[in-house]
Amino acid sequence: MKIITLNVRGFGVKGKFGWVKSLCFNEKPDFLALQETRCKPLSDQWVGLLWGSSDFGYIQREAVGYSGGMLLIWDTKSFGASSTMCCDYFLAVRGNWVGSGKESIIVNIYGPHDDASKKIMWRSLDSILLGIESVWVLCGDFNEVRIESDRKNCEFNRRRASKFNDLINRNKLIEIPINGRRFTRISDDGVKFSKLDRFLVSNLFLDLWIDLSVAPLDRRISDHCPLILRDKIVDYGPKPFKVFNVWFQKDGVDTIIQSAWGKPVTSSRLDCIFRDKLKNVKFALKEWSYK
């Protein structure tokens, strides 16, 4: 399973079409979610040439003047679509992953900038997320951040971020973290940085795909970098300690873990606190297992 999302910032710029086409050729995604295409109605031939195969379906929202526009393409060998939805700020396709038997809805989002339009988008997303029990994937350029550290050298609006987080929490969505990059958008002058692009999924999606990772791809000729979501085991290095399943069949192991975890630690940073608590559990289990 592979899904690529990218704010392409207009196909009118020389090299953009070839760049996106190469992404499709090299990665062979099941879905390609593009924002800010700045395109009028597209032909099947144009989309097929971009996709690099005749096995595709797609839905488009046209640009308004010289701005906006979205395109969502999927591999019909991997995903059988049953219906689509086109709204002002997002595109959605509903169907089934081939072989899974699980209904899924993939949403391509291009968020607005002003407060009034953001409010409309949050309300629209709420209406479908709360109304349909399904496997959800929301991806794209949300044009919003969640926390202050998602921006650098540009304004952080706490109220807007709170509204975004409320939507995520209300609909029990989970963000898949990005490996290897803190920001997804860099201004043309290289001064302002933001994390505007992301993947949000439902718990049911995590049941369907266990080993998930999001990685940034080469930014090249857009101010946004492409992101790819895939089911791939990521090596985060050696595990903190070994745990044997047989331990959990013995009486008292839960008490040992709870007691060790509850011991005070002197670290102040959250990551160091977590590390030191794991060490306490490790030493307690090691001592207990040798008895």
- Spatial separation of the C-alpha atoms in residues 169 and 257, rounded to whole Å: 30
Q: Can you point out the beta strands (E) in the chain?
A: 2-7, 31-35, 56-61, 70-75, 79-86, 90-97, 103-110, 135-141, 151-152, 174-175, 185-186, 193-194, 197-201, 212-216, 227-231
Instruction: List b or e across 176-213, with b for residues whose CB sees 16 or more CB atoms inside 10 angstroms.
Output: bebeeeebbbbeeeeebbbbbbbbbbbeebeebbeebb
pLDDT at 58: 96
Is 139 strand, coil or helix?
strand
Lookup: tokens for 154: 């540009």
Q: Is 136 exposed, middle or buried (0-12, 13-18, 19+ CB in 10 A)?
A: buried
Task: Kindly list the distances between the CA atom of residue 157 and the CA atoms of 131, 143, 161, 193, 201, in Å, as whole numbers in the listed order.
Answer: 29, 12, 6, 15, 24
Structure confidence at residue 241 (pLDDT)? 59
Can you give the pLDDT at residue 193? 93
Residue 137 tokens, joined: 């994937």
Q: What's the pLDDT at 37?
A: 93
pLDDT at 269: 67
Q: What is the pLDDT along the chain (291 residues), one digit of tens a residue?
A: 899 999 999 998 888 999 999 999 999 999 999 999 999 999 999 999 999 999 999 999 999 877 889 999 999 999 999 999 998 899 999 999 887 777 899 999 999 989 999 999 999 999 889 888 888 999 999 999 999 999 999 989 999 999 999 999 999 999 998 988 889 998 888 899 999 999 999 988 887 877 788 999 888 788 899 999 998 654 444 555 566 666 776 778 888 888 989 988 877 667 778 888 888 888 888 777 766
Q: Is the dihedral of CA 165, 171, 172, 178 positive or negative?
A: negative
Give residue 190's pLDDT. Answer: 85
- Cβ distance 143 to 112 under 8 Å? yes
Q: What is the pLDDT of residue 234?
A: 47
Nearest CA-CA partner of 33 in 20, 44, 46: 20
Residue 236, pLDDT score: 44
